[in-house]
């Protein structure tokens, strides 16, 4: 069956360190993959999109990689801050304007 997997356990890191979150998928050939941030009680907020022909995308302290051979995307937050604490969701699209398929999210806690 088709599915997306993200780190199921919460990630706790020290302020200033780099957080790395993983998104693995099976039985898809996505045209692109997206990462969203969600704070408690609020809707997800779009962060980054990376296409299948892109290896890496950066935005300020955020970096996303996309390995279509491994069927994996990594999401990095460098110089992490307590304000980065949230749940991070990955979502992928299989092309042809099909709807997004969502992972369950990974909770990140950055400790001061």
- Pick the closer one to another protein by CB: 89 or 110: 89
Distance of closest approach, residue 16 Cβ to another protein, in angstroms: 28
Shortest gap between Cβ of 41 and another protein (angstroms)?
Answer: 8
Q: How far apart are the first and last CA of the chain?
A: 41
How far, in Å, CA of 33 to CA of 51, rounded?
6
* Residues at the site binding another protein, with contacts judged by CB under 8 A: 31-32, 34, 41-46, 49, 89, 93, 95-97, 99-100, 102-105
CB of 10 to another protein, least distance (A): 10
How far is CA 7 from each of CA 4, 24, 28, 48, 95, rounded to the nearest angstrom?
10, 9, 19, 18, 25
């Amino acid at each position: 069956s088709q599915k997306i997997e993200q780190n199921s356990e919460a990630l706790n890191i020290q302020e200033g360190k780099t957080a790395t979150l993983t998104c693995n998928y099976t039985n898809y050939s996505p045209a692109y993959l997206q990462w969203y941030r969600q704070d408690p009680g609020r809707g997800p907020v779009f962060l980054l999109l990376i296409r299948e022909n892109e290896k890496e995308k950066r935005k300020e302290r955020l970096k996303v990689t996309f390995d279509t051979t491994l069927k994996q995307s990594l999401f990095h937050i460098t110089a992490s801050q307590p304000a980065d604490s949230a749940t991070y969701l990955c979502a992928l699209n299989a092309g042809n304007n099909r709807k997004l398929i969502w992972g369950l999210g990974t909770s990140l806690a950055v400790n001061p």
